[in-house]
Structures are given as C-alpha cells and as structure tokens.
Structure 1
C-alpha cells in the first residue's frame, strides 16, 4: 500500500483552476449517435455553463435540496450534474425510464424518488415523454421540472449565487445499481469524491494528462466518476459516446480511442468480449491502439480468457497486454478500492478447484485461474472477514471483503439501519476502527486482492461452494448459440432442497415457436447440462433458454441474478411467456 497526500481541494475548486490556467483545453468531447460528429466544451466554456445553470437553480432551490437528473449521456448531463454541485443542490443521477413500458426501470425510479424526495427534475425529454414519466411516477407530479438548455437560456452567471462547498458537504447521491437489492442512495461527500478521483489519478500512473474515450452510462459510478469526474479533476479530456452507440457497433469505441489517441479507458469484462467477437476486420484495418496505456477492467469478474482473446485479436493494432489494469470498486466506496500496477501485466493465480470450493486457496499447476484486482493505495485498507462469525479469516481463505480507511461515503441517504450495518462494521477480534462491508467475496494473496463473487449469489451444492460466474462461463462455452454475458445461474429453494437453475440467453433461432426452435433449445439444454456436470459435478435442475435481452442486467452490464431469479419464479421464462426487455444500456 502506498501513501499519498489526501487532497483538500474539491472538484469544483479544481475546475475553476483549470478554467483559469487552461481555458481553451477541451474538457469534454461529445460524439453523435453514429460516433462521427462531435461537440467540444473547453474548460472555460464548461465553467461558464455550470455557473449559469447554478444561478438558475438557486433562483428556485436551496442548498441541500435534491435534483433528480433524468438526462441522457451527453453535454446536458455533464453540465446539469456539475451545475447542481456548483449551486449546492444535491444531484441524483437516474436512468430515464423511457419507454415507460419497462417495468424494471419504472420500479427503480419510483424507489429512488420515494427515497430521496427530489425538489426538482432536470430533463431534456419532450413534453410527451415528461407527461408519461409523471403518470408512472406520480410523486414527480408536483416538483419543478427544468432542463440545462432552459437554464442556460435564462441569463448570465451570478457569482453571488454560487455555493462554496466544503469537503464535508454532500456532493451527490449515487444510487446503487440494484443488482442484488432495492437501490439505496450512497451519500458521497466532496471530500470522499476528491479522495477517490485523486486515488484513480495516482493509481493509473500516467506521466501525462488522461485522455478518456468512454461509452459507459453516466448515471452509474464507473462512467460518471471514473470516466468524467476523474479526467476533469486531472485536467484531462473525456470523449463521450452513448452506451447504445457502442452496443450497436463496438468498433466505434476502439475508433474513438484510435482517433483521439486516448491513453486510458475501460469497461466491464463483457465489453472486451464484445469487441473480440463483433469488431470485423474491415472495421479494424486502420486502428492504432498504441496510445492505450491503461485498459481497466472492472464491475464484474475479470476473466483471464477474455484478456487473452482481446490482446491476441488487437495485438496487430498496437494493443499492449501490459496495459491491462483489472480493478475492484463499488458505489459504497465512492468507486475505486484496488487496482493493479500499470507497469506490468496483472497477476494471475491458479488454485486447486476442490479446495477452492471449500473457501480454501491452494495454489496449483492446474485448476481455476483467477486474475488479481490489484492492491490498495492512499490509506485505503482491505480486510477479509468471515461473513457469519465476523472474524478475520486466516491467510489463504475466502471471506467477505471489508473496506477501511478515511474518506469513504458517510452512509445511505435516510437509512440509518442500513448505514449502521454496512458502513460501521467492526470485526470480532480484529482492528477497532469501523469498516464498510462490501457484500463481495475474495481473498488476499501476496498483498493483492482477488475477487471471487457476491455473498448472496454463492451456490452451495452437496456441501460445496460454487460461484455462479464459473457455472455461467461453462454454459457460455457449451454451445455456439449461447450469447456471452447473457447466462445467469442461481438457486431456487423448493422446500426440500435448493435447485440449481440456469437461464440462458441464446440466438441463432433458439427462441420462438416451431420445431426448429424447439430442437435448438433442446440442444442447448443438453450441451449446458453435460458441460456443467463434467466441469463442476453439478446436475442442473432446470435450464431456461430465452432471448438475450430477457436476461436482466444493471446499467454497467452486470447480471442481475436476483431479478432473473424473480422473473423465473414468476413464470416469465416459460415457453410462450413474453418477458419484457430488461437489458439496460
């Protein structure tokens, strides 16, 4: 663990410095849906715009009021978010529930609104769409609605209206993705934000200012903090495209990296798999990825096979495997917890599979290959604890990841009980200071953290532990019609025992009526059942083959196994049922 001076300046203070010292340097570049046309905001222009928006907000709101941001990824979101912070208004990023037929998005928004009680909504939607949102979320009917465009047209910035934030003030509420439970609002202070973006800056180890090319959603911590607020803190530039722009044609992300000479960017593991599979040779012919110094990989298990396949596919285009930077973080820690050494390839560890199923880590020549998520820095600490006894586990054992050190978020908004349980945990017989419980499983080896899964997702079959992502990876490779990142494994208690169920998102005509589709589904079920039995010694009790978009995911691409299990129990995956589209971004 390295020690670095903790910053005392807030992000707002850094932005004012950049606007003064480098006014003409691009802060953000926004690309169109086709990935070609661009709009640039310099630091001076961004500073002017957010001060103007802050002036308009202060005419209607007081410091500490919450403003819900229902804005698409782009200039309006960045200006609106920072304008709220400049006014002392607490921004609450949320995903616009459009179309309103998406039950998942509507339910999530209702929960967020009920929890934080916003006094305003910032939206750039049409009047028709705003009315539709009000109908499905009635609590938004009586609040003030405006948009960054309207506020920018309302006048000039008034410095007297700006709020002088301190490190102890609340910067924003970051609602958790809801991958395992109802979303809760993490209270991020200006001090916690400054500490984390400085941690990211130093951990990346760049000898130049960051140039980030990003498609990640901005209402999620990785996209917002890692790919926008961190470069703004460091005085760099972010090139932004929408998630849909990337998902429609993954090559657009790589082309943006090549065209703008981006030196740092990243995404969840599935994005690299998508590029490996779907970027055609004709699309990559003139790619130059040699500027890419830090390729971070986080938000879901990092797979060694994914790293190897991507590096091999794009080696001829200048991608250096030493750029890989697996990391671990979560909203409750603001974002980053651990990251690798940017000067070398990430550490890998092969462990004995049988011992690992007993939560014991035994290095072996053959077995399960794990990728390190790096180490801590800047006074951040990690402790591995038995989630049942709350005692630190011995070396070489898997346990829950507890996170300590200064400048963490201060808790969940308006939820004292959950705050006490999550942010004030104290290990039995361990250090006296409080820790934040992550709910994630992992272990330490040679000072580096290896993340193995979620506590609540763990499957226990025949007295052995099985990580769902391992089963999912096996199913993904069992048949060529199975879509990568669209398989969810979970347990269902039928009263007598836990049944192991796998929901498989598949293409190639596997979904639909007719003999051909039925035969394809049967082949997938057989292949998945045989592969899991051979690899893990588990007999699957049910395999449901569905369309890939019917497998629920969070905004960052993580599987929502809890939501998938709920849909399964509701009968939404029965033949003939029509589950709603649940894949976000």
Structure 2
C-alpha cells in the first residue's frame, strides 16, 4: 500500500517504520555473495533520525556523500532528508581507490558548493593517510570530512520532525557526462515522489516484490530504482557492489536465483557481459523463473543483446516478456518511458541509409543495409514526449528522427547554479506554436505507434559526407569483426581531418588476448576496416589499439565517448598501436 498523502521521501520511510517496522528493508551482499549487514525499516528510521540530529548540530547544508558500496550511504541519505539538508550523492567505487575518484569528487564539490564530506571512518582515515591527498586535491583536503558511522543512536530520541515542503530539493544528482565541468540536477521531493510512483506503477510492484541490484548508488538508476523505490513501495532489496558484479557477472544472476528476485536490471552492457562471461558450469544452478522485471536502460538497447540473453538463459527460466526496455535521464528524475508487464520487446528494422538522412523507413529490398532499433516503451503518468527538430525547433513529422523533448511532473527545476544551461535545456518551446516548456534531452529518436525509439546522442552523431552515423552501430560492427573485442570494448567518434569529420575507433583487447599486441596483424585490421566500410559505407581514418580497461566509462559502465575522444586527440589515452591512412604510428 502506498498512501496518497506522501508529500516527501521522509513520509515514506516514517510510514514503513510504523507499518513494517521489523521487516528487513535492505541487505548488503559482501563480495556479491555472502549476506552481510541487514537493516529493518525501524532501524533505518531510528538511525537516520539519530544522524539527522548530528547533521543539524554540524550546521551543514549541502554535504557530499562519499561512501563505498553498502548500507551506510542509505542511512546517511535518509538522515539528510530528515535534517532538511540537500545531499549530493557521489561515487566511490572501492574503499581502496579514494585517490582515483579525487578529480571527479573535487569537481562535484566545487560545483555544488558543498560544505562537508560525509563518509565512514575507514574511508576518511585512508584519504588523510595518503601522502598525496592534500597535493592532489587541496579543495577536498580543506573541507570538513565527517564520519557518520560514529553516530550515537541514542540521539534518535532527540529528533523532532520538521515539515518539509514538497518543492524543496530532495537531492542534487550529478550527471555522468564526460565533461570536466559537471552539472547537478536539482530534484525536488515532488519530482522524486512522482517518479517513484511512476516506476512503481509500470512495474506493478507489491509486497511480494524482491529487488537485487549491483548499480552504484551515485547513479540515478542505482539510487532511485534500487534504493529509494523499495522504501517507497515497501519491498525488500538486496545490494552488491558494482565491482562484485564486474569481477564475476554470475554473482548477479546467482543472487536473483537465491533470493527469488523479481526486479533487477542495468545498462545493456550488463546483459552482454553475462552472456560472454558466465560459464556453462555457473549456469547449471541458475533459476530465473522469478525474474519478471528485467529493466534495461541508461545506454543504447541492442536487439542482438536481448536475443542473445534470451537464447542463453531461457533454459534457466528467463522469459522474453521479462525484459523492460526503459528510457530515462537525471533531468527527468529517472524514468521517462518503459515497457509494461507481459509486453515483449518491440524491435523495428530500418533502412540504414534513410536513417542516416533522419528518415524512418522500412528497407525496400533484401539487399538494403538495415539497422535494428528497440522501443523504450510508452509514457504514462502525465509524462509527455514530443520529437523536435533540434535546429529549427519545430515538431518533426511522423517518420522523422529528431530530438526527444519531455514535459511532466518528474522534470526537474534545472541545474544547480547554472541559469544559462537551465534556460537552454529546461525551457524549450516550439518556434511556431510556442507549445512548452519542454526539457531538451540531447537524445535523438522517434515515436511510432506510441512507442519511443532512441537512436543516439546528438553530440555523439558522426556526420560524414552528409550522412549521420550512430557510433553504437559502428561499435557493434567492430565488436563482431574480431574475437578479441568485447561488445563494450570499443568507442567510435569523429575527429577532424583536413577540415572534415572523419571516423576514429579505439579498441580494447581482452587481457588473455593482449599479451602480444603483435598478434594483431594487418589482416585483422583490414577485416575490421572492411566490415565497417561494407556495413556503413565509410572508412576508419584512425584505429587505435588500447590495453583492456583504457576506454573511460562511468561507474555504471556507460561508455564516455566524448572523454575518450578528448584523450585520443590530446594524446593522454593509453594506446599501444595506432593505424591510420596516413601511416601507422606507435
């Protein structure tokens, strides 16, 4: 049951603490397997109240939440809500890697004007015993780092409820973009509760729902779908670290099997990784019959991925209609469109050349080059999608690709302290009708029979000789052309050559196949070049071979093409060999 009187996230936790006090809310799986700490709704409420008293005494307003995967982050987040302060979730993939996160953390702290860092004692101790910490990030070193795991739970009795207006910021969500200047989306309680209700509606959750997630808590999907939605709807959640999944993907499906999970998902690459990395022996004990909401979003959804996953795991009980292709973004809190219960994925085969001209058309003959696109479901709950020409700002025709614009109660107020960027992104109007305001997503797509099809990002599109090429399609072709390339192991982007855009591709090689890079003969490179030319009608101007793990990705595994492009151009990308039409260079 979800009362209609929820006005803020605090109301939801208080209600669960009153009606489901001794039910387990969250369990963290150590190493992705052994059950570690479990917290009930009663304990979560009480510990959050106690910490809220401390936060008020510390007189902070916008703390950066820097926690390793675990339950401490959840307590801290709800404590901020109770204390009427605005948390800024930040990523820390592993306690041993504080230093690797400093650049990103410092940029977020600076942009958010954060006045403290909340974390646990072991992270703070490690940070300040690192001799390079102060040198590498003096800004973070000068901030107050406060250990929340030393909170006296007796303070919970001193907590006094405070009325929270629904238009008050619930948190600031920093986008996982590739630029050095991050943007923080200000999500209000009204935005958040609408989106949680929307998620709950399309997933048809109940008290028998069980969630499993490996997604990072600093990612919008990991925070809202995997952490906040279980409390909002009152069901149990099991969590593991992203590293546990990435080291051994079978842990994810084993947890779904063991705990009879109904809801779990992630970006498209996660499903590819399961197909590629889970052995036949590991699969023997999998039982995925309980899995009914397999959400797939955050990056391009590939029909080949869905088909390969079904073919591999249907004998383990996975059902085709369990797939929930979704589309969302932080600027609209999270969810924009989604599949529904009992729906099967909708896939359309399009003429590749027509799509390159921005036209949606079925192939007219058998020899035509085609591209498969997967629908990201429909909208509901007062959410509206329109497709607009990003240059003329007029509505696109029924069979035209354009920018996806969104309106609805989940759309946030804007970016933190960025009025110009907020005006440009959140206040779009049609040039002719003045219909609006809409959120400009920067994503390209089209609507067909009420279904949203996402084709790519405006900034990632490669324009060569008047035709648009989507990088994810080129990357897919490259990954299929050589056994040493993972589905998520290459990045395609445009570089300038003689005043025109040209294609560059960076390829990671699997560790077991990268011991001798000389094995990559000219024949292998020629095969990749030929596949791209044949499939897409363009040639690769520069092809770089890089050690495994060199291509930048977000904490959730999302490819950062623009950052990779920048590193490639300025020479900071780690490469072993580079081929080009101007001659090979090391």
TM-score, normalised to structure 1, is 0.93
**Which residue of structure 1 lines up, in the alignment, with residue 583 of structure 2?**
none
Residues 209 and 234 in structure 1, CA contact (< 8 A), matched pair in contact too: no
Which residue, out of 28, 31, 41, partners 2:29?
31
Which residue, out of 51, 54, 63, partners 1:67?
63
Residues 9 and 81 in structure 2, CA contact (< 8 A), matched pair in contact too: no
Structure-1 separation of matches of 2:12 and 2:3: 16
Structure-2 separation of matches of 1:75 and 1:390: 45
Question: Deviation of residue 410 (structure 1)?
Answer: 0.8
Residues 55 and 158 in structure 1, CA contact (< 8 A), matched pair in contact too: no
What do you get for the CA RMSD once the two structures are aligned?
2.1
User: Deviations along 1:478-509, whole A, 9 cap, x unmatched?
Assistant: 00011220211001113422121000111266
**Which residue of structure 1 lines up, in the alignment, with residue 84 of structure 2?**
88
Residues 547 and 575 in structure 2, CA contact (< 8 A), matched pair in contact too: no
Structure-2 separation of matches of 1:326 and 1:576: 37
Question: Deviation of residue 364 (structure 1)?
Answer: 3.5
User: Deviations along 1:217-245, whole A, 9 cap, x unmatched?
Assistant: 00110100011101110001110000001
**Which residue of structure 1 lines up, in the alignment, with residue 144 of structure 2?**
144
Say which is worse superposed, 559-568 or 127-136, in terms of deviation. Answer: 127-136
The reply to whether residue 433 of structure 1 matches residue 436 of structure 2 is yes
Quick one: structure 1 residues 100 and 18, their matched pair in 2 at CA, closer, same or farther if it must change by over 3 Å? closer
Question: Deviation of residue 80 (structure 1)?
Answer: 1.0
Residues 8 and 191 in structure 1, CA contact (< 8 A), matched pair in contact too: no
Contiguous gaps of at least 5 residues in structure 1: 579-585
Residues 87 and 161 in structure 1, CA contact (< 8 A), matched pair in contact too: no
Quick one: structure 1 residues 29 and 8, their matched pair in 2 at CA, closer, same or farther if it must change by over 3 Å? closer
- Report the secondary structure of 1:453's partner residue: strand
**Which residue of structure 2 lines up, in the alignment, with residue 331 of structure 1?**
330
**Which residue of structure 2 lines up, in the alignment, with residue 529 of structure 1?**
529
Say which is worse superposed, 420-429 or 174-183, in terms of deviation. Answer: 174-183
Residues 267 and 297 in structure 1, CA contact (< 8 A), matched pair in contact too: yes
Quick one: structure 1 residues 73 and 575, their matched pair in 2 at CA, closer, same or farther if it must change by over 3 Å? closer
Residues 250 and 279 in structure 1, CA contact (< 8 A), matched pair in contact too: yes
Residues 87 and 171 in structure 2, CA contact (< 8 A), matched pair in contact too: yes
Structure-1 separation of matches of 2:232 and 2:208: 10
**Which residue of structure 2 lines up, in the alignment, with residue 549 of structure 1?**
549
Quick one: structure 1 residues 507 and 176, their matched pair in 2 at CA, closer, same or farther if it must change by over 3 Å? same
Say which is worse superposed, 231-240 or 33-42, in terms of deviation. Answer: 33-42
Structure-1 separation of matches of 2:446 and 2:536: 21
The reply to whether residue 116 of structure 1 matches residue 112 of structure 2 is yes
Quick one: structure 1 residues 306 and 390, their matched pair in 2 at CA, closer, same or farther if it must change by over 3 Å? same
Say which is worse superposed, 28-37 or 482-491, in terms of deviation. Answer: 28-37
**Which residue of structure 2 lines up, in the alignment, with residue 277 of structure 1?**
276
User: Deviations along 1:194-225, whole A, 9 cap, x unmatched?
Assistant: 00011000011245543110000001101000
**Which residue of structure 2 lines up, in the alignment, with residue 520 of structure 1?**
520
Structure-2 separation of matches of 1:129 and 1:217: 20
| RCO higher in structure (CA 8 A, sep ≥6) | 1
The reply to whether residue 456 of structure 1 matches residue 459 of structure 2 is yes
Question: Deviation of residue 12 (structure 1)?
Answer: 1.1
**Which residue of structure 2 lines up, in the alignment, with residue 559 of structure 1?**
559
User: Deviations along 1:516-569, whole A, 9 cap, x unmatched?
Assistant: 522326444222111101111111101101123000111221111111011111
Say which is worse superposed, 372-381 or 524-533, in terms of deviation. Answer: 524-533
**Which residue of structure 2 lines up, in the alignment, with residue 215 of structure 1?**
214
Structure-1 separation of matches of 2:411 and 2:511: 46
Which residue, out of 395, 400, 406, partners 2:398?
395
**Which residue of structure 2 lines up, in the alignment, with residue 13 of structure 1?**
11
Structure-2 separation of matches of 1:352 and 1:196: 35
Residues 7 and 198 in structure 1, CA contact (< 8 A), matched pair in contact too: no
Which residue, out of 21, 44, 47, partners 1:46?
44
User: Deviations along 1:61-98, whole A, 9 cap, x unmatched?
Assistant: 25xx1011110111111111111111111111112386
**Which residue of structure 1 lines up, in the alignment, with residue 418 of structure 2?**
415
Question: Deviation of residue 167 (structure 1)?
Answer: 0.9
The reply to whether residue 540 of structure 1 matches residue 540 of structure 2 is yes
Contiguous gaps of at least 5 residues in structure 2: 579-586
Question: Deviation of residue 141 (structure 1)?
Answer: 3.1
Residues 9 and 194 in structure 1, CA contact (< 8 A), matched pair in contact too: yes
**Which residue of structure 1 lines up, in the alignment, with residue 584 of structure 2?**
none
TM-score, normalised to structure 2, is 0.93
Which residue, out of 490, 509, 527, partners 2:493?
490
Aligned residue runs from structure 1 range 322-361, under 5 A: 322-361=321-360
Residues 65 and 119 in structure 2, CA contact (< 8 A), matched pair in contact too: yes
Say which is worse superposed, 437-446 or 153-162, in terms of deviation. Answer: 153-162
User: Deviations along 1:257-282, whole A, 9 cap, x unmatched?
Assistant: 11111111110000001111111122
Give aligned pairs, total: 567
Quick one: structure 1 residues 530 and 141, their matched pair in 2 at CA, closer, same or farther if it must change by over 3 Å? same
Question: Deviation of residue 353 (structure 1)?
Answer: 1.4
Structure-1 separation of matches of 2:565 and 2:184: 24
Moved over 6 A (4+): 4-7
Residues 327 and 336 in structure 1, CA contact (< 8 A), matched pair in contact too: yes
**Which residue of structure 2 lines up, in the alignment, with residue 22 of structure 1?**
20
Quick one: structure 1 residues 20 and 274, their matched pair in 2 at CA, closer, same or farther if it must change by over 3 Å? same
Structure-1 separation of matches of 2:511 and 2:28: 35
Residues 180 and 561 in structure 1, CA contact (< 8 A), matched pair in contact too: no
Quick one: structure 1 residues 334 and 281, their matched pair in 2 at CA, closer, same or farther if it must change by over 3 Å? same
- Report the secondary structure of 1:156's partner residue: helix
Say which is worse superposed, 560-569 or 136-145, in terms of deviation. Answer: 136-145
The reply to whether residue 406 of structure 1 matches residue 409 of structure 2 is yes
Quick one: structure 1 residues 493 and 188, their matched pair in 2 at CA, closer, same or farther if it must change by over 3 Å? same
- Report the secondary structure of 1:309's partner residue: helix
- Report the secondary structure of 1:327's partner residue: strand
